[in-house]
Amino acid sequence: MKMKIFMCLKLFPLLFVLFSSSFSGALIKVPENATIPAVMFFGDSVVDTGNNNYITTLVRANFLPYGKDFIAGQPTGRFSNGKVPPDLFVEELGIKPCLPPYLDPSLVDEDLLTGVNFASGGSGYDPLTSNTMSVFSLSDQLEMFEEYIIKLKKIAGDEKSSYILRESLFVVVSGSNDIWNSFFNNLRQFQYDVPSYTDLLVSHVSSFAQELYRLGARRIGVFSMPAIGCMPSQITIRRIGLERKCVTEYNEIAQLFNKKLLSALTSLNAQFPQAKMVYLDFYDLPLDMISNPQKFGFKIVDKGCCGTGTFETSLLCTYACSNEDDYIFWDSFHPTEKAYRILIHQMLQENINYFICGKSLCS
């Protein structure tokens, strides 16, 4: 049965009043004379806020216990117990409490003016990854974005639409599924070695960023690949000895990809001086949290809150712990809202000036 996806502030009238009164605005200070009218996200399940609910795929999260700590305890297709990075971006910037999925049929004009989400859980930079999981590829997401621009121009006109595209943040989050699903568990490892496959992925990142630029985006952020060897599922699959330790080989692949990604974004900034292509570190802080959990208020780092915490995700996640704030991971792949909040707050604090001013100092 398809569950209707409610918008963040459309769940219940009373909830709307209560939440609006508690939503106090931006937590991140934007440089003076700068504006960020909207945020757009592209990518995989880390940032999908419900688009997969509208397609036939096993990669979905529109059922409890997912969303148990979201507004009114509603499962919305977010792969966590509560909010995920797109929601926290718009919340921290004071734009709105959540970032809705583009495919939500209840979208209104204001939703389009302040940003929507095109991400699809299970997707990757490699087209094979999305095809294998029967989800929206980045090419599909780009087509939806082009459709969005047409709608935006009808609402706001050409001039304001260009302004919104130029001043908004565009964020891309992907890559992990490519390594797990297409390289190690599919045909790619017989076609590429690790260096050449990471080259392929980075070439897709570069092409996608240039397409966003062609369509009017200027402030473009790309998440680095996380420490994929520390995901509970990967620890389970590659378990060595009695202890549940991070898989060094997988983390080294992520580090190689990240090094190449940073170089590619630096090159794009030189090629397109009007662009602000920003590398968003999603590797070091999560790894610090896993290595030093007490510093961040966590107790359990090698298992998720969902099920046994060792392999469950998506449809296999049928029950959850009651102490999710002790966990960095919600299921065997995705962090909890608490972990995301720490990560996104620091990420925005460290990078907001780069989105606005690039390498120059903001006045």
Other C-beta atoms closer than 10 Å to the C-beta of 346 total 13
Q: Which of 45, 130, 161, 332 is catalytic?
A: 45
- How sure is the predictor about 293, in pLDDT bands with cuts at 50, 70 and 90? very high
DSSP summary character for residue 351: H
In a domain, 205, yes or no: yes
Does 134 qualify as catalytic in the annotation?
no
Residue 4 in this model has a pLDDT that exceeds 50: no
Structure tokens that stand for 208 in this block: 């996608």
**pTM of the full structure:** 0.93
Domain count of the chain?
1
167-216 pLDDT per residue, tens: 999 999 999 999 999 998 878 999 999 999 999 999 999 999 999 999 99
Residue 242 in this model has a pLDDT that exceeds 90: no
In a domain, 155, yes or no: yes
- How much is the mean pLDDT over the chain? 92
Identify the residue whose tokens are 């769940």: 11
Average pLDDT over residues 261-280: 97
The set of residues, in sequence order, having a beta carbon less than 8 Å from that of 43 and lying 6+ positions away, is: 119, 120, 123, 138, 141, 171, 172, 173, 174, 223
Does 331 qualify as catalytic in the annotation?
yes
Percent of residues, the chain, with pLDDT higher than 70: 92
Q: Which of 161, 182, 332, 334 is catalytic?
A: 334
In a domain, 179, yes or no: yes
13-64 pLDDT per residue, tens: 333 333 433 444 678 989 888 999 999 999 999 999 999 999 999 999 999 9
CATH number at residue 192: 3.40.50
In a domain, 303, yes or no: no
In a domain, 32, yes or no: no
Does 288 qualify as catalytic in the annotation?
no
Q: Which of 44, 224, 331, 332 is catalytic?
A: 331
How far apart are alpha carbons 334 and 260 in whole angstroms? 24
52-88 pLDDT per residue, tens: 999 999 999 999 999 999 999 999 999 999 999 999 9
In a domain, 127, yes or no: yes
Report which of 327, 350, 351 is spatially closest to residue 81, judged by C-alpha positions.
327
The range of the structural domain enclosing residue 73 comes to 39-292+342-357
In a domain, 76, yes or no: yes
Cross-strand pairs, 172: 42, 222
In a domain, 16, yes or no: no
Determine the Cα angle at 280 with ends 275 and 285, to 5°: 165
